Amino acid sequence: MIAKVPGYTRAVGIAIMMEHPVPGQGGRHRQTLSYGQPPALNLSPRQALAREVKDVRNIYYRQRLYTPQIRQSLQQLIKLNKIYWSRIFNKGDK
């Protein structure tokens, strides 16, 4: 499969830890829209990042666990992606 972002692999991706509420039973990561799914290659990198962040935020909202720390972690996730992958997160990429 040809990657949409040259040089991107899971090994170089930027992520946050979504702890498991009950050990051995999965957790919040399994609740994400993208869990176990192939990448949405019809979306731009900016759209994909926005969708993933919104999805994670909504999971924490539903569980009444959306705190300033979670908000800060998501903001940091966005910032790091924009720094590390600056060539694909330019303003012209919609």
Compute mean pLDDT per 10 residues along the chain, 94 residues long, and list them: 62 78 74 85 86 94 93 94 81 52
pLDDT of residue 66: 94
Locate the domains of the chain by residue range: 42-89
pLDDT of residue 68: 97
pTM: 0.78
Q: What is the 3-state secondary structure (H, E, C) of the chain?
A: CCCCCCCCCHHHCCCCCCCCCCCCCCCHHHHCCCCCCCCCCCCCHHHHHHHHHHHHHHHHHHCCCCCHHHHHHHHHHHHHHHHHCCCCCCCCCC
pLDDT of residue 64: 93
pLDDT of residue 82: 87
